[in-house]
């Protein structure tokens, strides 16, 4: 069995070999130049982001001003038996958000998820902690009887389980398509999002898995009453849906109906509760995107390069390499952007990386390399901690008790995505990222702005007993990197 949690629980089927053509590129990242990197980013098929990832001028004349009263809220799942100090900031519970979305649906529900496993039997586990998953499955299968159309897209290849979720849903009238990303891109469909009635949206790290509700730490965002954004996300869903047909082939280029006028250069502007928000959706892989859609990698690199004071990152896995392509390739784009931010601009970097029983120990060397350039007397500040969820008496539940978050918050932007930070996720794998920049009067900012709440959640985790400095790791049976 693979030691990589993401490969089996939220990544790629074991034994899957990746193959994609590579070319030699010269890419500017900050003041660093990477020469001759063999990299499949060649499939970008568009100009690279501006040199140094400069921010293009963003005035309201280039933006899309929405009349929607978009309401944004953080969503979280905290594993059972994980306790924080009093007065800590939390997102709305994931279970509550999913149930609310099902309840309010009147017309159509579209769900994209890498895999489905909403009951304990799916993985040969008998536990009461799967009850929330069972309830979600029951409520979803009742939607067609309420005349609500339900469509589901999932991945081929996918996680190997005995799940009967999709069979049950199809019997109740749910439409299901499996997208053969293995054939189309040598990747998987790794996106995780909901669209309800073309106006409500959930995007986050959680798959349709009962463990995401009770045993795995997840983070996402729910946006209510935001038709402009929901219709834009629907274009991404529709690209999956069409490619889920048998014998589908990737169009070159994508037809005009998949184009978007919402991107980094032209974000969606919305105002609600005295908070002004600039929002856009990014996607991957490049081969699944129209030229008008900002790529997920571009969104991440520009977010890091535009930060002036701090960059806080929380991701499950961090590798400046490919992970599943054989042979593995060095892939330094995000790593170089982080180093350039810290070294050139003296931006304070904090990285909270997950470590569980199934984490890949090879990640430690890359994290130590980053941490080694921390130099207070040179005003270079890179701090790295591992977030370790205690296993306790839950050891019989496989691929659980892990921090599955995939987000970043800076002094400029909040980014919430569905991908881990290694090369394959941005070159061949389907993912989405939501980029939010907000402005509000200070009292409103503290209580209403999602950006502010996300920073508080990061601080909560960073200063918690579950976050361990690399230098203090020692031996911990719940963290494979310490073995």
User: Any idea which residues carry the catalytic annotation?
Assistant: 190, 192, 197, 404
Q: Determine contact, residues 279/229, Cβ cutoff 8 Å.
A: yes
How far is CA 268 from each of CA 60, 204, 234, 256, 427, rounded to the nearest angstrom?
10, 19, 15, 20, 26
Residue 387 in tokens: 């977030």
Distance of alpha carbon 234 from alpha carbon 137, whole angstroms: 22
Token look-up 């976050």 returns 467
Residue 93 in tokens: 């519970």
- The alpha carbon torsion through 22, 257, 260, 430 (nearest 10 deg) reads -40
**Helical H runs in 119-215?**
131-141, 165-171, 181-184, 210-214
Q: In sequence order, what E strands does 273-410 have? A: 275-284, 310-315, 348-354, 382-387, 406-410
Separation of CA 462 from chain center:
19
Distance of alpha carbon 111 from alpha carbon 101, whole angstroms: 11
Residue 59 in tokens: 């005035």
The DSSP letter of residue 422 is S
Q: What is the DSSP string of 214-269?
A: HTSBEEEEEEES-HHHHHHHHHHHHHHHHHTSTT----SS--GGG--S-SSSSPEE
Closest CA to 438 of 396, 401, 409: 409
The helix/strand/coil state of 116 is strand
Q: Determine contact, residues 19/186, Cβ cutoff 8 Å.
A: yes
Distance of alpha carbon 241 from alpha carbon 246, whole angstroms: 11
Token look-up 């049976």 returns 477
Token look-up 């050139």 returns 344
């Amino acid at each position: 069995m693979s030691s990589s949690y993401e490969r089996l629980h939220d990544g790629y089927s074991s034994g899957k070999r990746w193959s994609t053509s590579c070319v030699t590129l010269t890419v500017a990242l900050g003041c660093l130049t990477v020469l001759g990197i063999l990299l499949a980013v060649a499939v970008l098929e568009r100009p690279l982001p501006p040199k140094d990832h400069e921010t293009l001028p963003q005035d309201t004349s280039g933006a899309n001003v929405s009349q929607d009263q978009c309401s944004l809220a953080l969503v979280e799942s905290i594993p059972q038996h994980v306790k924080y100090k009093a007065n800590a900031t939390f997102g709305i519970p994931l279970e509550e958000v999913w149930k609310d979305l099902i309840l309010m649906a009147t017309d159509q529900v579209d769900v994209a998820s890498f895999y489905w496993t909403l009951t304990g039997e799916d993985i040969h586990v008998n536990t009461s902690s799967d009850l929330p998953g069972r309830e979600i499955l029951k409520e979803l299968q009742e939607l067609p009887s309420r005349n609500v159309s339900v469509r589901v897209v999932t991945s081929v290849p996918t996680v190997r389980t005995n799940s009967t979720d999709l069979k049950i849903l199809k019997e109740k009238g749910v439409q299901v398509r499996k997208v053969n990303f293995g054939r189309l891109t040598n990747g998987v469909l790794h996106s995780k999002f909901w669209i309800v009635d073309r106006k409500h949206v959930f995007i986050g790290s959680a798959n349709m898995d009962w463990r995401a509700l009770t045993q795995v730490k997840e983070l996402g965002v729910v946006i209510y009453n935001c038709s402009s954004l929901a219709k834009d996300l629907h274009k991404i869903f529709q690209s999956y849906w069409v490619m889920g047909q048998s014998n589908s082939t990737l169009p070159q280029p994508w037809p005009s109906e998949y184009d978007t006028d919402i991107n980094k250069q032209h974000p969606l502007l919305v105002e609600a509760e005295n908070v002004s928000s600039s929002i856009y959706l990014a996607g991957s892989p490049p081969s699944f995107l129209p030229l008008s859609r900002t790529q997920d990698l571009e969104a991440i690199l520009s977010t890091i390069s535009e930060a002036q004071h701090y960059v806080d990152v929380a991701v499950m896995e961090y590798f400046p390499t490919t992970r599943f392509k054989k042979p593995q390739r060095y892939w330094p784009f995000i790593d170089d952007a982080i180093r350039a931010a810290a070294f050139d601009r003296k931006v304070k970097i904090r990285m909270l990386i997950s470590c569980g029983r199934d984490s890949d120990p090879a990640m430690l060397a890359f994290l130590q390399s980053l941490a080694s350039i921390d130099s207070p007397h040179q005003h270079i500040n890179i701090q790295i901690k591992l977030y370790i969820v205690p296993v306790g008496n839950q050891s019989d539940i496989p691929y659980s008790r892990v921090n599955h978050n995939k987000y970043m918050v800076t002094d400029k932007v909040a980014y919430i995505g569905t991908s881990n930070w290694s090369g394959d996720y941005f070159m061949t794998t389907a993912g989405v990222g939501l980029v939010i920049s907000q402005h509000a009067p200070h009292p409103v900012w503290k209580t209403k702005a999602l950006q502010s709440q996300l920073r508080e959640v990061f601080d909560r985790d960073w200063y918690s007993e579950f976050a361990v400095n690399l230098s203090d790791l020692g031996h911990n049976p719940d963290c494979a990197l310490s073995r």
